[in-house]
Amino acid sequence: MNDSADIKKARNAVLIIHNLSEKRLSLRNAVSDFVRVYAVKSKNSAEAALKKAENIKLIISDLEMPDNSGYELLDFLLNSGDYGDIPVLIITESPQKEIVKKLEGYGNVAGVIGKPCDLKEFREMTAEILGINISLVERGGGR
């Protein structure tokens, strides 16, 4: 990776929230060449991670989780005072228009991607939300 990509990576981090470890790993691997990645399994873990992590520029969350829903996470973020301006990319089994419209009503939802999650589309959406030119990262060779 070139020096400017290394600097940008150091400034950008994402927090991935998904209850399934294999999904967290595949999402992490899809973007780890251009951002630092923190990955946790629940909203409660996310709250702790947000307090410790630096430079979180995007939160990526599953909407349907057994302990807490993505809606609860969105409510927490918006009501926290500290994290309401961090954009959120939602992954859902139900990307129907009414669900997307409800999610967009939160104001901090920057995108919605359906399951099964196409990792190329996920990678491109993540880069776009962060303002990273993915073709430059890929030409730089990544890691």
* Segments in 1-143 forming alpha helices (H): 3-11, 21-31, 43-52, 70-80, 97-104, 119-130, 134-139
d(C-alpha 130, C-alpha 4), whole Å: 15
Maximum separation of any 2 CA atoms in the chain, in Å: 43
Residue 68: predicted pLDDT:
74
Quick count: other Cβ atoms within 10 Å of Cβ 19? 16
Residue 31: predicted pLDDT:
95
Token code pair at residue 34: 């251009």
Q: Per-10-residue mean pLDDT for the chain, 143 residues long?
A: 48 89 94 92 83 89 83 90 92 85 90 92 95 75 43
Q: Catalogue all structural domains in the chain, each as residue range(s) with its CATH number.
A: 3-139 (3.40.50.2300)
